[in-house]
Amino acid sequence: MIIITDKRNEQDNRFIGSQTKNNKYPRLIQAISVIAVILAFVLLINSQNQIQNDTILKEIDSSEHGQGNSDKLTEYDLDQLGQQFLNQNDTKQAIRIYTFLHYQYPDNLKYLNSLAYSYFVSGDYKNAFLSFEKSLQLDNNNEFTLFYTGLCYIQQQDNQNAEKFFKKTLNINSKHEGALLNLGNLIYGEKERENYQEKSAYYYMKCIESNQKNKECLYKMGILHFNRKSHYKAIKFFKLILDVDPQHPLANCSLGDTYLELKQNYEALIYYKTCVELINQEQQQKELIQYYKKILQIDPNQPHLKNTLAELYFNSKQYDDAYLFYKQVIKNNPKDQKALLAIIKICEIKNNLSDQIYWLKNLIDIKNQNNDEYIQKLGDLNYEIKNYYEAISWYRQLFNKLKQNYSLALKIAQCYVDIADDHAAELWYLKALAIDQQNLISLENLSQLYYYERKTLQAAKYSQQCLSFHSQSLICNKIQGFLNYDDGHYQEASQNFLMALKQSPYDPQALFSLAQTYEALKQFDKASFFYKKCITVNPIASIYKNLADCLIQLNQIEEAIIMLTKSIQLDSSYQDSYLLLAKLYESKNDEQSSIEIYEKYYQIDPYDAAILLKLAQYYQKENQIEKSIHYYKSLIEINQSYEPAYQAISSLFLQSNKIDQGILYFHQLISQNQYNEFAVAQYKYLTAIKK
């Protein structure tokens, strides 16, 4: 430590010695003066210490960079400063100083050990171990170095070498308490070692012989005897600790455990209660819970303990246990509002909505249904679990008290929307609007309700009223756009949809409706743009088909084919895309591709007569008789009086020399129409040939 001489300057002496004339309180003034001088002196010493320390550190820094003069730094001052930093737990600066000292005096064991110790205290066990190893090379019989090398081996989990070095320490000093304690602990931890308890006890007892007040060794001996069921011997050692330190929590806890095993509940309670008081001061919740439960086990008729345990579990976020104990508290006192609030909070944390509702109802019963917050919460919770009628009941109960609360009216309206009672929803939206004529939600929802009910005048009224107050409303701009579109006012509709998209640029409904509007205006380039944008957020088959329609109008046939193909990939049952795609192939004179698409369409709709005739005629032309007959037969199944099908089938059978089948179908045709001259003539001719 740097010594600063205790010399007062003349000014200080004059200050202390001066006396104020005519002073009413000379002793008080003198006392204040003395205190002021002492404080000034302390500040002076501290500031001088700081200046001196800063100077030393700067010199070290300069020397480390080869710029300073290390001769200016006295060995004594450096060592004292290093010790000061260690005492202040400033290991970083201590390491810096002792590294410097070791560099200057490499053979000085004291500085090397101080450096190693600084590393050890800082948690840098690797460098600590290396430094202690270097120290042992200088002196392999140094008690301090041997002991701390043993501790380093413990950090490396090398218990064998640790034990070896602790024994070397004891060879030098047989009463070294740290070595004895650590040896006892190492051996006790090796359960597989023969007689490990007796061997560890040997070292603990040796330590106690050296120092009868060594609390750690006394405690270890107490635990050894407790585990061996030597309860009275255990009590002896635990009480010896209390003779040294009556406030020792572990000793009190262990005495409680020991007396509990002996079924001496009264004594156990005394020590447990002391233990709880001590642990509570240190705020160790886990241990508190453990011992409160033991107290409750001995004396279950202490309801306040259940409350305490519930709070401890709650504070340590063990919500399941807290829930169980709060339920016991409420069982003892159903009107315990604090416990009810806590249990409701637990249900909220665990998102257990049904239990939350149950306990809130209990709380409301206590409060005689006067707490608006709880009633609203019950409405919200029932709504969340889709118990809409129950939610309406709670909301209406509160609305009867707060008749000007439009948000409650909106909640009730939404409940009715969710149960598809549009009439009731309409009434409650109108109530909300009566409270607040500019209420956006009411205006928007009324506009939607009336539009979907085909009440266009009311829908127009409320959507326009909404837009007069809220011109940016997404919903009402869309409703107004739908109304204008339905009335054929496409230009106005496009403006409404564009305004809606300003609020929500990727609203699929607005994008699709705007594209449809531009298509109706025959602005196919704009329609295509918005259909494509709509596809990015809502890729469905019908939109691809609509886009293809626009592309055809723009004579972009190849791209239209791609869009229709994607449409079919998305929805293989969407018929319109098949028909349009087949027609596009026909327009390109690609008859084969067209027929392939018609065949796929036939798998979806086997009753489309026009497509069946097209397929039958195509395969007849291609001389694929079986396929052609198949489709003509399908036509007859749809329309038994369709004569061309009978004629075609008969001709096809004759073409393949199947005269009997040909005669059969001419006969069926005649039965359908006996005045068909061609059929009668063919039937007679074929019958004659057959004979």
pLDDT in tens, 253-310: 888 889 888 988 888 888 878 877 777 765 666 777 777 777 777 777 777 778 888 8
The two structure tokens encoding residue 248: 């020792």
| Predicted local distance difference test score (pLDDT) of residue 456 | 94
Q: Is residue 555 part of a domain?
A: yes
Element (H, E) at 564: helix 557-570
Instruction: Give the Cα separation of 399 and 448 in Å (integer).
Output: 24
Q: Are residues 587 and 633 in the same domain?
A: no
Residue 525: CB atoms within 10 Å: 11
311, two tokens: 């709070």
629 and 691 co-located in one domain: yes
**691 in the same domain as 644:** yes
Residue 90 identity: D
Question: Is the predicted pLDDT of residue 39 greater than 60, yes or no?
Answer: no
- Residue 599 sits in the same domain as residue 629: no
Beta-carbon contacts of residue 291 (< 8 Å; ≥ 6 apart): 253, 256, 272, 275, 276, 279
Domain assignment present for 37: no
388's CB contacts (< 8 A; 6+ apart) are 382, 415, 416, 418, 419
Spatial separation of the C-alpha atoms in residues 402 and 153, rounded to whole Å? 74
Identity of the amino acid at 161: N
Q: What is the dihedral of CA 462, 465, 466, 470, to 10 degrees?
A: 170
Q: What is the mean pLDDT of residues 586-595?
A: 92
* Domain co-membership, 644 together with 582: no
Asked whether residue 676 is domain-assigned, the answer is yes
pLDDT tens readout for residues 408-421: 999 999 999 999 99
Mean pLDDT for the stretch of residues 43-55: 46
Read off the pLDDT of residues 627-677 as tens digits, 9 standing for 90 and up: 998 998 898 888 877 878 877 888 888 787 787 777 787 777 777 766 666
Q: Categorize the per-residue pLDDT at 344 as very low, low, confident or very high, splitting at 50, 70 and 90.
A: very high
Lowest mean pLDDT among 42-51, 552-561, 616-625: 42-51
* Alpha carbons 433 and 430: distance in angstroms, whole number: 5
What is the enclosing helix (H) or strand (E) of 339?
Answer: helix 337-349
One-letter amino acid for residue 545 of the chain: K
pLDDT tens, residue by residue, 169-214: 999 999 999 999 999 999 988 888 888 889 899 999 999 998 998 9
Judge whether 573 lies within some domain: yes
Place of tokens 């003349």: 10
| Mean of pLDDT over the chain | 84
Contact 326, 346 (CB under 8 A): yes
Q: How far apart are the first and last CA of the chain?
A: 141
200 close to 187: Cβ distance less than 8 angstroms: yes
597's CB contacts (< 8 A; 6+ apart) are 578, 581, 582, 585
Q: How far apart are CA 46 and CA 35, in angstroms?
A: 17
Structure tokens at 327: 């339920």
The token duo for 690 is 């057959």
Question: Taking residues 13-38, what's their average pLDDT?
Answer: 38
Do 599 and 653 lie in one domain? The reply is no
Domain final residue pick, 605, 627, 655: 605
Mean pLDDT confidence for 472-487: 95
User: How many separate domains does the chain show?
Assistant: 2
Look at residue 41 and tell me whether its pLDDT is greater than 60: no
Looking at the fold, whether 622 and 690 belong to one and the same domain comes out as yes
Does residue 619 contact residue 633 with C-beta atoms inside 8 Å?
A: no
* Nearest of 583, 603, 580 to residue 591 by alpha carbon: 583
**Is 372 in contact with 342 (CB distance < 8 Å)?**
no
CB atoms within 10 A of CB 455: 15
Res. 35: pLDDT tops 50: no
Residue at 341 is within a domain: no
Q: Determine the angle formed by the axes of helices 10-17 and 26-64, rounding to 10 degrees.
A: 160
Whichever domain contains 543, its CATH number is 1.25.40.10
Would you state the pLDDT for residue 42? Answer: 40
DSSP per residue, 122-173: HT-HHHHHHHHHHHHHH-TT-HHHHHHHHHHHHHTT-HHHHHHHHHHHHHH-
Burial class from Cβ neighbours inside 10 Å (0-12, 13-18, 19+) for residue 263 reads exposed
What pLDDT is stored for residue 298 in this prediction? 77
Which one of 577, 605, 633 terminates a domain?
A: 605
CB neighbours of residue 459 within 10 Å = 23
DSSP state of 73: S
The reported pLDDT for the residue numbered 370 is: 62
> Higher-confidence residue: 663 or 43?
663
- Residue 273 has a CB neighbour count (10 Å cut-off) of 15
Q: Is 645 part of any domain?
A: yes
Which residue in this structure is represented by tokens 């190849």? 558
Q: 67: buried, middle or exposed (CB in 10 Å: 19+, 13-18, 0-12)? A: exposed
**Stretch 330-334: mean pLDDT, rounded?**
87
Q: Where are the beta strands (DSSP E) in 587-640?
A: none
Q: How far apart are CA 628 and CA 436, in angstroms?
A: 71
List Cβ neighbours of 160 (8 Å cut-off, separation of 6 or more).
Answer: none
Report the C-alpha dihedral over residues 614, 615, 617, 620, rounded to 10 degrees: 170
Residue 627 or 54, more confident = 627
Q: What is the DSSP letter of 12?
A: H
Q: Are 416 and 392 in contact (CB under 8 A)?
A: yes
Task: Give the distance, in angstroms, between the CA of residue 369 and the centroid of all CA atoms in the same chain.
Answer: 36
- Measured between alpha carbons, how far is residue 10 from residues 18, 37, 48, 87 in Å? 12, 13, 19, 35
CA torsion through residues 338, 340, 343, 347, sign? negative
Quote the pLDDT of residue 308. 82
Domain termination residue (choose one: 605, 627, 657):
605
Q: What average pLDDT does this structure show over 469-498?
A: 95
pLDDT surpassing 70 at residue 472: yes
Q: Domain for residue 292, yes or no?
A: no
Q: Which residues contact 217 (CB under 8 A, 6 or more apart)?
A: 177, 180, 181, 184, 204, 205, 207, 208, 211
Rounded to whole angstroms, the Cα distance separating 518 from 526 reads: 6
Q: What is the CA radius of gyration of the chain?
A: 49
HSE of 241, CA atoms in CB hemisphere, 13 A? 22
429-436 CB contacts, 8 Å cutoff, 24+ apart: 431/406, 432/406, 435/404, 435/405, 435/406, 435/409, 436/406
Provide the domain limits for residue 581.
539-605
> Rounded distance, CA 178 to CA 155, Å?
15
Q: 2, 52 in Cβ contact below 8 A? A: yes
pLDDT, residue 3, reads 25
CA distance linking residue 106 with residue 99, whole number of Å = 10
- Provide the pLDDT confidence category of residue 32 given band limits of 50, 70 and 90: very low
Between the alpha carbon of residue 584 and those of residues 275, 351, 547, 563, 601, the distances in Å are 90, 57, 14, 12, 15
Q: Is 90 exceeded by the pLDDT of residue 66?
A: no
pLDDT at 658: 81
Assess if residue 95 is contained within a domain.
no
CB 612 within 8 A of CB 648: no
Q: How far apart are CA 88 and CA 480, in angstroms?
A: 76
pLDDT score at 11 = 29
What percent of the chain shows pLDDT beyond 90?
56
What single DSSP character describes residue 24? S
> Residue for token digits 């209406």?
396
* pLDDT exceeds 60 at position 7: no
Angle at 385 between CA 380 and CA 387, to 5 degrees: 85
Cβ neighbours for 133, distance < 8 A, ≥ 6 positions apart:
149
